[in-house]
Chains A and B, each alone.
Chain A
């Protein structure tokens, strides 16, 4: 069965600093990987996804993530944090390698300090 690990629950960065949110997964089949963002009182919004092909995936709002099979990782980065990036971020893997059911990590709350 698939699983996702997001170590820690909260990260704080200064505005303009690098954002790095870590995600490691476990999957017995080639995974589909996702990052979702949840702003306060809103639903989850897809940031980016990896299915096949290029391992560096670019998403919305300047975020990108790199699929590293050897490290079973899919870390999310953004070169320069903005105040509007403050939200909760969830990493997810699709169950059974491509089905629509998602297995989520515990989420990471990002705070951006001025």
Chain B
């Protein structure tokens, strides 16, 4: 199995600022994903983090707002840009192993 470490685990940020979330996997995974879990809502896929190239975004999510990098097979970052209170959510990183998807503990973001 893979262990996925995310940091920070939580943060409180001012509106208009940006926050970068880091995701480190302890072993190689085939794919990495970023999800958002808004209060009282389900997990929603933001994008697939592609190694060495631009991420693939789902409908409703754009690169300018959520730039993602994946410089190697085991590390990825998600930036939440120009934050507003509506961005207050839990952001989760996921890595796909051979048989299942593994998840980080999530980053609980509050924008004030």
By a beta-carbon cutoff of 8 Å, the part of chain A in contact with chain B is 4, 9, 34, 36, 41-46, 49, 90, 95, 100-107
B92 within 8 A of partner (CB): yes
Give the residues in chain A near B74, CB-CB below 8 Å.
none
A41 touches B105 (CB 8 A): yes
Name which of B11-19, B42-50, B64-72, B76-84 contacts chain A: B42-50
Chosen A-B contacts, 5 in total, with CB atoms closer than 8 Å, are A9-B40, A42-B105, A101-B48, A102-B101, A106-B42
Pick the contact of A100: B4, B35, B101 (CB < 8 A).
Answer: B101
* Closest residue on chain A to residue B48 by CB atoms: A101
A100 touches B31 (CB 8 A): yes
By a beta-carbon cutoff of 8 Å, the part of chain B in contact with chain A is 4, 6, 30-31, 33, 35, 40-45, 48, 92, 94, 96, 100-106
Query: How close is B50's CB to chain A, nearest CB, in angstroms?
Result: 13
A102 touches B92 (CB 8 A): no
Query: How close is B68's CB to chain A, nearest CB, in angstroms?
Result: 15
Give the residues in chain B near A9, CB-CB below 8 Å.
40
A106 to B64, CA, bound (A): 27
Given contacts A100-B30, A105-B42, A106-B42, are A43 and B92 in contact (CB under 8 A)? Answer: yes
Sample of 9 further A-B pairs with CB below 8 A, known A100-B31, A101-B33, A102-B45:
A34-B100, A43-B102, A43-B103, A100-B30, A101-B48, A104-B35, A104-B44, A105-B42, A106-B40
Pick the contact of B105: A43, A103, A107 (CB < 8 A).
Answer: A43
Given contacts A49-B100, A100-B96, A100-B101, are A43 and B43 in contact (CB under 8 A)? Answer: no
A101 to B43, CA, bound (A): 11
B96 touches A104 (CB 8 A): no
Query: How close is A96's CB to chain B, nearest CB, in angstroms?
Result: 12
Give the residues in chain B near A103, CB-CB below 8 Å.
45
A44 to B102, CA, bound (A): 7
